Amino acid sequence: MNNIIESLQYYMQYPFVQYALIVGTLIALCSSLLGVTLVLKRFSFIGDGLSHVAFGAMAIASVINLTNDTLLVMVITVVAAVLLLRTGQNTKIQGDAAIAMLSVGSLAVGYLLLNLFSTSTNIAGDVCSTLFGATSILTLTKSEVWICVIMSVVVVVLFCVLYNKIFAVTFDETFAKATGIPADRYNLLIAIVTAIIIVLAMNLVGSLLISALVIFPALSAMQVIQNFKGVVIYSAVISVVCAVLGIVLSILFSTPVGSTIVVANIVVFAINMLVSKLTRG
Amino acid sequence: MAYITCEDLTLGYDGSVVTEHINFQVNQGDYLYIIGENGAGKSTLIKALLHLMEPIQGEVVTGDGLKPYEIGYLPQQTVVQKDFPASVWEIVLSGTLAKRGWKPFYTKQEKQCVRENMEKMAVWDLRKECYRNLSGGQQQRVLLARALCATTKLLLLDEPVTGLDPKVTAEFYQLLQELNQSGITIIMVSHDMQAAAAYASHILHIEKDTTFYGTKSQYQKSEAWKAFQYTAGGAAHE
Query: Is B78 part of any domain?
Result: no
- Residue B146 and residue B190 share a domain: no
User: Does residue B80 lie in a domain region?
Assistant: no
Residue A253 has pLDDT above 70, yes or no: yes
The rounded mean pLDDT for chain A is: 85
Q: Please compute the mean of the pLDDT values over residues A211-227 and round it to a whole number.
A: 92
pLDDT at B62: 85
Handedness of CA B209, B193, B157, B109 (dihedral sign): positive
User: Which chain B positions have a beta carbon within 8 Å of A172's beta carbon?
Assistant: 75, 78, 80-81, 94
Decide: B73 and B22 in contact? Cβ < 8 Å. no
Within this chain, do residues B224 and B181 fall inside the same structural domain, yes or no?
A: yes
Considering only residues A263 and A131, tell me which one the structure prediction assigns the higher pLDDT: A263
Task: Indicate yes or no: pTM above 0.90.
Answer: no
Positive or negative torsion for Cα B69, B74, B76, B78: positive
User: B142 and B173 share a domain?
Assistant: no
Distance CA B41, CA B44 (A): 5
Nearest residue on chain B to A178, alpha-carbon basis? B50
Distance between CA atoms of residues A75 and A151, nearest Å = 14
∠ Cα B191 B192 B196 (to 5°): 115
Same domain? B58 vs B89: no
Could you give the percent of chain B with pLDDT greater than 90? Answer: 18
Residue at a domain's end among B124, B150, B176? B150
Could you tell me the domains of chain A? 14-273 (1.10.3470.10)
The range of the structural domain enclosing residue B34 comes to 1-70+153-238
Domain membership flag for residue B137 = yes
Tell me, yes or no, whether B24 and B123 share the same domain. no
Closest Cβ–Cβ partner in A41, A178, A228 for B52: A178
Q: Assign residue B206 the CATH number of its domain.
A: 3.40.50.300
Same domain, B188 and B137: no
ipTM of the complex: 0.85
Query: Of B134, B150, B166, which residue sits at a domain end?
Result: B150
Question: Does residue B177 sit in the same domain as residue B235?
Answer: yes
Q: Give backbone dihedrals phi and psi of B176, rounded to 5 degrees, phi first.
A: -65, -40
pLDDT, tens only, A32-85: 999 999 898 888 888 888 888 988 888 888 888 766 677 888 889 999 888 877
User: What pLDDT score does A244 carry?
Assistant: 93
Asked if residue B142 and residue B123 are part of one domain, the reply reads: yes
Q: Could you tell me if residue B168 is inside a domain?
A: yes
Of B81, B106, B130, the CB nearest to A164: B106
Are B163 and B66 in a shared domain?
A: yes
Residues B120 and B161 in one domain: no
CA distance A57 to B141: 49
Kindly state whether A162 is in contact with chain B, defined as any CB-CB distance less than 8 angstroms. yes
Q: Among B150, B174, B195, give the residue marking a domain's end.
A: B150
Q: Do B93 and B199 belong together in one domain?
A: no
Number of structural domains, chain B? 2
- The answer as to whether B75 is a domain residue is no
Verify whether the Cβ–Cβ distance A168 to B68 is below 8 Å. Answer: no
Q: How distant is the alpha carbon of residue B167 from its chain centre? A: 20
Please tell me whether residues B223 and B188 are part of one structural domain.
yes
Element (H, E) at A202: helix A183-205
Residue B210 is assigned to a structural domain of this protein: yes
